[in-house]
Chain A
Amino acid sequence: MKFWFLLFMLVTASFSALAVEPDERLKDPVLEARAREISKDLRCLVCQGQAIDDSNADLAKDLRVLVRKRLTAGDTDEEVRQFLKDRYGDFILLNPPVEKKTLLLWLTPAIVLGAGLIVAGVFVRKRSGQG
């Protein structure tokens, strides 16, 4: 039964996703631009893979409106993100924060590239010695 509930959410969410509606938009272009930037990095919780900026799920719309409300009330971008993080956790941030538990995520590319370059360097040196 739970399956149907989730399926319902996923289907409505992935469906003809039309994102931002005209009525949601703020008059102030600077605030609106900030709102768009923030919404691009917030995850639509019910569609699970999309940003709220790209989704027409009801909750995504509510969150977009909420972001604009907070900005109009004078919150900084960081305060808006923190506000949502307090309620939904790191999951809502599409850009995972750099902290202890995400260290491996952020460092892996550098480690692999570094190790790869070292191995490649040794390999090339060895071969060029013979050449």
Chain B
Amino acid sequence: MIVDLGYGALVLALVFSLLQSVVPLVGANRDKKKWMLFGRRSAMALFVLVSLSFGALMYAHVTSDFSVKNVFENSHTLKPMIYKISGAWGSHEGSMMLWVWMLSLWGFGVERAKKIPLPVQARVLSVQGMIGFGFLLFILMTSNPFARLFPVPMEGMDLNPVLQDPGLAVHPPLLYTGYVGFSITFCFAMAALMEKKVDAAWAATLRPWVLAAWIALTLGIMSGAVWAYYELGWGGFWFWDPVENASLMPWLAGTALLHSVAVLEKRNTLGNWTIFLAILAFSFSLLGTFLVRSGILTSVHAFANDPARGIFILVLLTVAIGGAFIFYAFRAPQVKSGAGFSTVSRETAMVLNNVFLFTFCVTVMMGTLYPVFMSALDLGSVSVGPPYYLSVLLPMLVPFALLMGAAPSLAWRKGSLEKLSIPFILTSMTIVVLLTLPLHEKPLSVLGFGVGGWIVFATSYNLWKKISLKLPRSYFGMALAHIGFGILIMGITATTLWKEEKILWMVRGDHVIVAGHDIAFLGTHKSEGPNYDIDTGIFTVDNGYLTPEKRWYPADEKSTSEVALKVENFNLLYLVLGDQDKDQPDRWVVRIYNHTLVLWILLGALMMAGGGFISITDRRRHE
């Protein structure tokens, strides 16, 4: 019953999304207030309907209603409640529902934002309705989560144990909030093209939406990295896998957008470029969805693919992005000469920032899509992996980081580089100290800490010098995010270059020393979890205990490893219980890693998101 209601709500949502794409737009063009206001009502209705529908799917999962195919394929009666809930978006169908729900939530957000001029709001909601219509149609035609099964199975097939993790509850919702959030900036760009009005006021309206989407995407990518870090069993957090790249591309475009919006708002220039980036960021979100769902690329994250879905999303992508670019080609205003500025100025720095971020974005896109190009041209299979990205991106990261440290101290219109001498001295001193230390991979270590340190020193020094002035809150946000990025670079450098690992067989009573920690193996202990059996390895580390687990899921005939972590300063000791010796049952494979400063990566990412939060609370307006 509830399941049927959920399906009905989804169909009704499709109808509303269609109305929402037409009525407010016509209203805005003919200046009919009532028609424009319909956009608001409809956005609210859409939010309620999709929430009902998504809620019904969740209800089916929570109650283990195996008459629903999606529940049968992804659930099990013994699965813990939290994974029954998050399992609602663990499958392809469920994740598309989450996508659309996020879209309706953002639409609801636009509906609430009463400060947006009514015609702009009507146009934004109309374009949003079109996107919603496309995706709802996609769900109903190719990925219906409410499809039934008859006869009703007694037990479900269970969710892949890898997904039975709090990571699934956190990572996809955050990531999708970010992905879909850029649909709003896309809609604003379309609205601006319709009105042929791209100015500082438009930028001021857009800015909080860009920030909100960017924060969510930053946290989404971060949570994915954290999940990979503890789930994979050896501490990797980023693989340059197509699916990861799919989230990095909109992030890079979004970061560029964040900066160009600031320029447009302050200096009323870069309008065309800002519109382009606003379209681009969402285009990459759509491209990511297409790449993951179509199976045109294979990746570790490969989902079960269906060609009909791929074709549908490709059509959707072509209509949305193609339509937007056609619109852009013919409606974007001609470049006018705006206000002037000196060669050494904040404006120049921001323009260069955008050149770099755009290049990073294109590089990641090229690496991700090159295998597709090769295959289309019958040139054979090729792999583009981490070495490509590192060798191409690292050299560009150096000037980018230098610029990033310098930019905040440059004034708008005309700046000077004099204020940078003290941070420059501090950075040089850091480098000299590093050079005297015995380090692994010295040149790269010095490089990473040099550029990271430069960003941190230059930004903090600049903030300290200006603290007596009345700075807008967004300035603190920017500084925090930049310092976070500097810390992130240093964390990645340290973790990658200075990690220590021991992989060995251990029997009860064995000792080993890793990174100064004395680790002793006391044996294993058997127990049972809700839907799995557990072997717990018991270790003493220094004065405490660490208990990594190996879990066996009988329903799936699969096992997972639960790592044990010990925090020390910003380092993590990472302990994994591996395989048991078949002939000698008290002998186990043990993997021990020490990841230096790995928590700086987390700290840096949190600071970036935090900086975004501070900026978003800055409610300045340009009259």
A–B contact via C-beta, under 8 angstroms: yes
Q: Contacts A54-B234, A95-B387, A108-B362 known; A113 to B300 CB distance under 8 Å?
A: no
Q: Contacts A18-B561, A20-B503, A89-B380 known; A112 to B387 CB distance under 8 Å?
A: no
Q: How far is the CA of A12 from the CA of B133 in the complex (A)?
A: 37
Q: In the complex, are the beta carbons of B302 and A10 less than 8 A apart?
A: yes
Chain B hits for A41, CB < 8 A: 385, 387
What's the minimum C-beta distance from B273 to chain A, rounded to whole angstroms? Answer: 9
Q: In the complex, are the beta carbons of A91 and B384 less than 8 A apart?
A: no
We find that the number of chain B residues with CB closer than 8 angstroms to chain A is 67
Q: In the complex, are the beta carbons of B359 and A92 less than 8 A apart?
A: no
Closest A-chain residue to B387, C-beta based? A95
Chain A hits for B362, CB < 8 A: 108-109, 112
Contact of A124 among B338, B348, B413 (CB under 8 A): B348
Q: In the complex, are the beta carbons of B503 and A51 less than 8 A apart?
A: no
The main secondary structure of chain A at its interface with chain B is helix
The answer, yes or no, to whether A94 is at the interface (CB within 8 Å) is: yes
The answer, yes or no, to whether A29 is at the interface (CB within 8 Å) is: no
The answer, yes or no, to whether A72 is at the interface (CB within 8 Å) is: no
Would you list which residues of chain B between 40 and 55 have a CB under 8 Å from chain A? none
The answer, yes or no, to whether B341 is at the interface (CB within 8 Å) is: yes
What's the minimum C-beta distance from A14 to chain B, rounded to whole angstroms? Answer: 5
The answer, yes or no, to whether A93 is at the interface (CB within 8 Å) is: yes
Chain B hits for A7, CB < 8 A: 304
What's the minimum C-beta distance from A121 to chain B, rounded to whole angstroms? Answer: 9
Q: In the complex, are the beta carbons of B234 and A95 less than 8 A apart?
A: no
Interface string of A89-122 (1 = CB under 8 A from B): 1111111100001101110110011001101100
The answer, yes or no, to whether A83 is at the interface (CB within 8 Å) is: no
Q: In the complex, are the beta carbons of A96 and B384 less than 8 A apart?
A: yes
Contact of B242 among A23, A49, A93 (CB under 8 A): A49
Closest A-chain residue to B414, C-beta based? A131
Chain A hits for B304, CB < 8 A: 3, 7
Q: How far is the CA of A10 from the CA of B302 in the complex (A)?
A: 8
Interface string of B542-562 (1 = CB under 8 A from A): 000000000000000011110
Q: In the complex, are the beta carbons of B342 and A96 less than 8 A apart?
A: no
Q: In the complex, are the beta carbons of B342 and A54 less than 8 A apart?
A: no
The answer, yes or no, to whether B366 is at the interface (CB within 8 Å) is: yes
Q: In the complex, are the beta carbons of A22 and B505 less than 8 A apart?
A: yes
Q: In the complex, are the beta carbons of A124 and B351 less than 8 A apart?
A: yes
Chain B hits for A47, CB < 8 A: 300
Contact of A116 among B341, B359, B413 (CB under 8 A): B359
| Given A108-B366, A130-B340, 19 further pairs, Cβ under 8 A | A10-B298, A15-B558, A16-B162, A16-B559, A17-B232, A17-B234, A18-B579, A90-B383, A92-B383, A95-B385, A101-B374, A101-B382, A105-B370, A106-B392, A109-B362, A127-B340, A129-B340, A130-B337, A131-B340
Q: Which residues of B contact A (CB under 8 A)?
A: 160, 162, 232-234, 236, 239, 241-242, 269, 298-302, 304, 337-343, 347-348, 351-352, 354-356, 358-359, 362-363, 366-367, 370, 373-374, 379-388, 391-393, 396, 413-414, 503-505, 558-561, 576, 578-579, 589, 591
Complex A-B: 9 CB contacts under 8 Å: A16-B162, A18-B578, A22-B589, A41-B385, A94-B388, A96-B370, A108-B362, A120-B355, A124-B341
